[in-house]
Amino acid sequence: MDVDDMLMIPGPVQLHSRISRAMSKQMIGHRGSKFSETMAYCVEGLKEMFGTKGDVYLITGSGTAGLEAAIASFSSVKRITCVDNGKFGDRLGRIASRYTKVDVVRFEWGKAIEIEDVEKSIAEGSEALAFVHNETSTAMLNPARELAKLAKKYDCITLMDAITSVGGDYVKMDEWGIDVAIVGSQKCLGIPPGLAAVAVSNERVWDFYNEKCPFYLDLSAYRKKAKDNQTPYTPAVSLFFALEEAVKMVREEGLENRIKRHRTLAKAVREWAKNAGLELFPQPNEISDYSNTVTAINLPEGVTDRELRGTLLREYGITISGGQEHLKGKIFRIGNMGNIGKREIVTTLAAIEDILSRFDACKPALYAAFEVLRSL
Amino acid sequence: MDVDDMLMIPGPVQLHSRISRAMSKQMIGHRGSKFSETMAYCVEGLKEMFGTKGDVYLITGSGTAGLEAAIASFSSVKRITCVDNGKFGDRLGRIASRYTKVDVVRFEWGKAIEIEDVEKSIAEGSEALAFVHNETSTAMLNPARELAKLAKKYDCITLMDAITSVGGDYVKMDEWGIDVAIVGSQKCLGIPPGLAAVAVSNERVWDFYNEKCPFYLDLSAYRKKAKDNQTPYTPAVSLFFALEEAVKMVREEGLENRIKRHRTLAKAVREWAKNAGLELFPQPNEISDYSNTVTAINLPEGVTDRELRGTLLREYGITISGGQEHLKGKIFRIGNMGNIGKREIVTTLAAIEDILSRFDACKPALYAAFEVLRSL
C-alpha cells in the first residue's frame, strides 16, 4: 500500500495535514513574545474545551505526566479515593500511592461505577476523589457530574482524568464542580502526543498544595510562569504550534459541532455492532454511558485478535486497538477521536465486516451506521 | 523580513528542513513494530554520542524531566553533592533536595570548579555526585573526567547533566566512569524540545534505585519497556521521527567531524571576541575550559542588552541570548549547537560587529573568525 496506514485507535490519532504543517514550522525561542502569543491562544481554546474560567497549565510530557502533576501537586490530603473500573482508573491509584494514603474503589473492568461504593470510601475520611471521565480501556463514560456532586457533599476536591474526553465530548468543569482535570494532546485535540494540559478551576484547591511534589511536575511553577504565558521549563515548541492550529480547527468547526460529530461517529459504530450481531463490551448503568470517543466490542467466538486486527492491518492498512492487560484477545476497540470523520468510520466498519464475515461472525450491518451518520 | 528569524541561542536550535520534514510524517501507533524500529535506531545513535555501551532511556519531557528522572530514580543515597557554578548547577541541587540530603558546593557563576572543594564535600559522607558538564548559563565546560575520577575514589555514583554537550562535544561515559548522564533534544542533537534521554552506563547504579521516585519519571519502568524498544507511557512520536533523522545526520557527518565543527565554531566566536576587544565571561582554570557549544561575552560598557539584542533582532532577524538571573544585562551568549555552520556564525558576528561599532564598543575582528573557520 502506498498511502499511510489509517489509525483508528484511541490515540495517538491520525493527523490532519494542517496539523503536520503547523508543527513543522521553523523553531522559535521559547522566551520570546511569539511563543507567548501561541501559548495564550492555546490556553484560551483549552479553557473553553475544559469548560472553565480557571487556569490551564501546559506540561511537556504524556498524559500520565499531566495526571501525576495534578495528583502530586494537590496531595496534601489525608486520604484520596481513586475509582478504578479500567486500566486508567487503576493508574490513578498507582500514581497517588506515591504521595498520600489511597483508598481504591474497584469495579470489574467494563462494569459501571456504583455511586454508593464511592460514597462509602469517601465517608471513611477522604479529602480528594480521583476518577477517569472517559475510560478508554473499556470504552466507558463514567458519571463525572454525579461523582463531583458526591465529592462536594463531603467537601472533597475532585481530580478528573479527562485525557480522552476534552475536545471530543462534554466537559464542564465549572458547571459540574470539578477542581482539576487533565487532557492529553494525542486524543480528541488531534495533535501528536507529547503535551498534557492541567486545568485548575478554582483557587481553593491550592490549600492542598504539596511542596514536596516532583520538581518538574510542580504545578506552582507552571502557575507562576503562566501569568506571562510562559512555561517553567523548555516546552515542546513544535507541539505548541500544532496545538495552536488544533484550537483554530476546533473554533472553525465549533466545539458543539465537534462534540456532536464525535458522539454521532461513536453511535454509528455501536449501532453497526449491535446490528452485526456483535456485543458491546462495557455495561453502563443509569448514570454512566458508552464512550463517545472509542468503542469496545467483544471479539466474537472463533476469531482471534490476530485474525481480526492482523488481517485488517495487512489487507486494509487500518490499525484498531485490542484489549489491554487481561482484556487482551477478548475485545477490540475502535477510536473516533480528533479529526476522524464519516469516511474513516465507514471504511473501518466495512473492512471489519469483510474480515469477520469470513468467519461467519458478523451480519451485514453497514446500513445501521449509514442511518446514524446521515445526521452529520 | 520574509525568511524565518535566525536562532543563535543555546537551544532550542534552528531546524534543518530534513528534521522538520521527518517530524511532520503521519502518526503511527506507538505500540507497533514501526515505532520500535525508530526507537531502536535512536537509542543506538545516542549510545555512541553518550560514549556508553549501557542503556539509554527516552523520556517525553524537557531536559529538566530527564534530570529529575535520573536524580530521583537513583536517590537512595545518604547524601548527594551537587556542584553549582551556574544556573543549571543550581537546578541540580533544587531537584535533588526533594529526594535526599544535599550538599551544594557553590562557586561564583562563571568561575571554575575547584576539585578540592568538591572533594571536601564528598569526603564528608556523600554517596552521589551531580554536576553539569557544559554549563550554558556561563558558557563553561566543567571537568567531567576529573570529577568522575574523584567520585570513584570515594565510591560515589556520578550523575552528569550533559544536556548541552552530547552530540556537540566529547562525552565518554564509559571511559570517564560516569554512571548516569542526560541530554535534551533541542540542543546539539538539532531537533525541537520535548525529548530527554537518560543514559545509564552500568548495572551497579541500580543499587541506589529509589522506588518512591515519581511514577512518570521512574527509570525502572523505562528500563523494563526498553527491552522491547518501547516506552512505558505514550511517547512524543513526532519527536522520535525527528530524532531518527537527527541520528542519520550525525552518522552522515560523522560524530568526530560534528564535534570538530562545534569546537571550531565556538573557537571562531571566542577569537573574534578577543580581537574585537570584548571580554569572555567565564574563567576556566587548568582542568576546565570554555564551552564548545555556546559562548558568553561581557556586554561592553555603554551598551545595554536591549541596544544589542533588540537591534540585532529588529534589524537582522537574529536572536541571541542574554544573561540569566543575576547575569541579566551583563552578558550576551551566542549558541552554536546542532546544525549551525560557518555561514550562521559569520552572519551573526558581522551583525553584532555592525551594532557594537555604532557605540564604539568593538573593533573590526571578523578576520580572526575567518582564520579559525578555514579549518572547517
Tally of CA atoms within 13 A in the half-sphere of B301 that contains its CB: 0
Distance CA A237, CA B195 (A): 11
B287 and B376 Cβ atoms separated by less than 8 Å: no
Digit-coded pLDDT (tens) for A188-231: 999 999 999 999 999 999 999 999 999 999 999 999 999 999 99
Quote the minimal CA–CA distance from B208 to chain A in Å. 18
Nearest to A69 by CA among A167, A204, A159: A159
| pLDDT of A245 strictly over 60 | yes
Average per-residue pLDDT for chain A? 97
Strand pairing partners for A331?
Answer: A298
Distance CA B241, CA B226 (A): 17
Taking a contact as any Cβ pair under 8 Å apart, which residues of chain A between 32 and 61 contact chain B? 32, 60-61
| pLDDT of B86 strictly over 60 | yes
The helix (H) or strand (E) run that includes residue A231 is none
| pLDDT of A1 strictly over 80 | no
B84 and B112 Cβ atoms separated by less than 8 Å: no
Q: Is A114 left (phi over 0), alpha (psi -120 to 50) or beta?
A: beta
The pTM for the full model equals 0.97
3-state secondary structure at position A61: coil
Nearest to A64 among B95, B233, B236 (CB): B233
Residue with cell 445526521: A375
B25, B215, B245, best to mutate vs chain A, most A CBs in 10 Å: B215
Taking a contact as any Cβ pair under 8 Å apart, which residues of chain B between 98 and 157 contact chain A? 98
Residue B257 has which C-alpha cell? Answer: 567531524
Nearest to A233 among B24, B32, B64 (CB): B64
Contacts of B200 (CB under 8 A, 6+ apart): B54, B55, B56, B57, B179, B180, B206, B219, B223
Give the pLDDT confidence score for residue A2 in this predicted structure.
55
* Beta pairing class for A195-200 and A289-290: unpaired
Give the pLDDT confidence score for residue A3 in this predicted structure.
74
Nearest to A7 among B14, B27, B233 (CB): B27
User: Quick one: DSSP state of residue B286?
Assistant: T
A215, A219, A319, A339, best to mutate vs chain B, most B CBs in 10 Å: A215
Nearest to B266 by CA among B300, B246, B296: B296
B74 and B159 Cβ atoms separated by less than 8 Å: yes
B68 close to A (CB below 8 A)? yes
Task: Provide the pLDDT confidence category of residue B372 given band limits of 50, 70 and 90.
Answer: very high
Quote the minimal CA–CA distance from A236 to chain B in Å. 4
Distance CA A237, CA B86 (A): 25
Give the pLDDT confidence score for residue B29 in this predicted structure.
94
User: Quick one: DSSP state of residue B340?
Assistant: -
Distance CA A1, CA A246 (A): 28
Letter string b/e over residues B149-160, b meaning 16 or more CB atoms within 10 A of that residue's CB: ebbeeeebbbbb
**The Cα angle at residue A296 between residues A294 and A301, in degrees rounded to 5:** 155
| Mean of pLDDT values over A174-190 | 98
Quote the minimal CA–CA distance from B285 to chain A in Å. 30
| Mean of pLDDT values over B165-171 | 98
A273 close to B (CB below 8 A)? no
Strand pairing partners for A280?
Answer: A297
Its ipTM equals 0.96
CA A353 to chain CA centroid, Å, is 27
Q: CB atoms < 10 A from the CB of B357, how many?
A: 13
Domains of chain B (ranges; CATH) run 6-12+254-373 (3.90.1150.10), 17-252 (3.40.640.10)
| pLDDT of A65 strictly over 80 | yes
Nearest to B293 by CA among B326, B253, B261, B332: B261
Taking a contact as any Cβ pair under 8 Å apart, which residues of chain B between 177 and 206 contact chain A? 184, 186, 192-194
Residue A56 has which C-alpha cell? Answer: 490551564
Give the pLDDT confidence score for residue A274 in this predicted structure.
98
End-to-end CA distance of chain A: 30
B234 and A186 Cβ atoms separated by less than 8 Å: yes
Digit-coded pLDDT (tens) for A116-165: 999 999 999 999 999 999 999 999 999 999 999 999 999 999 999 999 99
Nearest to A236 among B32, B194, B237 (CB): B194
What does each C-alpha distance from A167 to A185, B293, B345 come to in angstroms?
10, 41, 44
Give the pLDDT confidence score for residue B185 in this predicted structure.
97
| Mean of pLDDT values over A13-25 | 96
Taking a contact as any Cβ pair under 8 Å apart, which residues of chain B between 72 and 101 contact chain A? 72, 94-95, 98
For chain B, what's the residue count?
A: 376
Q: Kindly tell me the burial class for residue A306, based on how many C-beta atoms sit within 10 Å of its own C-beta (0-12, 13-18, 19 or more).
A: exposed
Residue A214 has which C-alpha cell? Answer: 516532583
| pLDDT of B244 strictly over 70 | yes
| Mean of pLDDT values over B196-204 | 97
Distance CA B316, CA A54 (A): 40
Digit-coded pLDDT (tens) for B311-361: 999 999 999 999 999 999 999 999 999 999 999 999 999 999 999 999 999
Distance CA B216, CA A253 (A): 34
Give the pLDDT confidence score for residue B94 in this predicted structure.
98
- Per cent of chain A over pLDDT 70 is 99
| pLDDT of B4 strictly over 90 | no
Quote the minimal CA–CA distance from A122 to chain B in Å. 24
| pLDDT of B264 strictly over 60 | yes
Distance CA B167, CA B50 (A): 8
Q: What is the DSSP string of B254-271?
A: -HHHHHHHHHHHHHHHHH
In degrees and rounded to multiples of 5, residue A252 shows phi and psi of: -65, -45
Give the pLDDT confidence score for residue B2 in this predicted structure.
55
Taking a contact as any Cβ pair under 8 Å apart, which residues of chain A between 284 and 343 contact chain B? 319
The sign of the CA dihedral A331, A337, A341, A342 is positive
Residue with cell 520534514: B21
Give the pLDDT confidence score for residue A4 in this predicted structure.
86
Quote the minimal CA–CA distance from B197 to chain A in Å. 13
Nearest to A17 by CA among B18, B24, B296, B69: B24
Strand pairing partners for A298?
Answer: A331
3-state secondary structure at position A318: strand
Distance CA B140, CA B112 (A): 8
Give the pLDDT confidence score for residue B3 in this predicted structure.
74
Give the pLDDT confidence score for residue A95 in this predicted structure.
98
Distance CA A24, CA A31 (A): 19
